[in-house]
Amino acid sequence: MKRKILLVDDEKTLVKALTFNLEKEGYQVIPAYEGEEALKKMEAENPDLLILDLMLPGLDGFEVCRRVRKNYDIPIIMLTAKGDDIDKILGLELGADDYITKPFNPRELLARVKAILRRSNSQNSSIKNLIKIQDLQIDLYQHRVRVKDQEIDLTSKEFALLNLLASNPGRVYSREQLLEQIWGYNYYGDARTVDVHIRHLREKIEMDPSNPRYILTVWGTGYKFREGR
């Protein structure tokens, strides 16, 4: 069965070109040109991946991302014509998994699409394991996380990060290693992606995110999960 990609951009020429390239790779592309249309097609089509432009007429990409992330757990790649860091950071804050700045090489987008979907498949594989440490319980098979018997909602990337770190307690991962293993490709050294996701993860699982018990910072290097059960 073909993987479905919802492609949202008001530049019809770009949508046509990207659709051609994605379909040539075997994906089914569902185009949308406005934010409200994107949300309707999101509900009707249940895609595997969302490629979302920020600058849309009416409902902008930020709001679309926020609403999608609230109701769906699918990978999101944001497209932006701006080079401003604030747009990229805000997109990540709202739950985007990746971003790419226009203009871009279609082959780069294809590489990121393949990596994200490959990683998504890997995350959905059956790994029968249960990790317990203090108040935290991670069911790697059912992709469920509980803190003090309260279930915690994580995005796919947040769960993947927690899975990797908790499955290898004490091992220090650099930001570059986490980018490679979770996002599945060279992210050109942009460590903010990892930092934003780690911060979100801490806010959800730590009693005091500013003084974490589980995900520890190794200054000048990266992150590790605490040792011991």
Closest CA to 68 of 94, 90, 88, 45: 94
Give the mean model confidence (pLDDT) for residues 23-31.
94
**What CATH number was assigned to the domain covering residues 130-225?**
1.10.10.10
Domain residue limits, the chain:
4-123, 130-225
User: What is the pLDDT confidence band of residue 186, given thresholds at 50, 70 and 90?
Assistant: low
What average pLDDT does the segment 10-35 reach? 94
Tell which residue, 164, 159, 169, 157, has the closest CA to residue 133: 169
- Mean predicted lDDT score pLDDT of the chain: 85
Query: pLDDT tens for residues 130-146?
Result: 788 888 988 876 788 99
Out of 30-34, 59-63, 100-104, 118-122, the most confident range is 30-34
* pLDDT average, residue stretch 63-78: 87
Which of the pair, 53 or 84, is modelled with greater confidence?
53
DSSP per-residue codes, the chain: -PPEEEEE-S-HHHHHHHHHHHHHTT-EEEEE-SHHHHHHHHHHH--SEEEEES--SSS-HHHHHHHHHHH----EEEEES---HHHHHHHHHTT-SEEEESS--HHHHHHHHHHHHHHHHHHTS----EEEETTEEEETTTTEEEETTEEE---HHHHHHHHHHHHSTT--EEHHHHIIIII-S--TT-THHHHHHHHHHHHHH-SSTTS-SSEEEETTTEEEEPP--
Are residues 8 and 52 in contact, defined by beta-carbon separation less than 8 angstroms? Answer: yes
Superfamily for domain range 4-123 = Response regulator (3.40.50.2300)
The residue ranking higher by pLDDT, 192 or 7, is 7
- Average confidence (pLDDT) over 191-206: 91
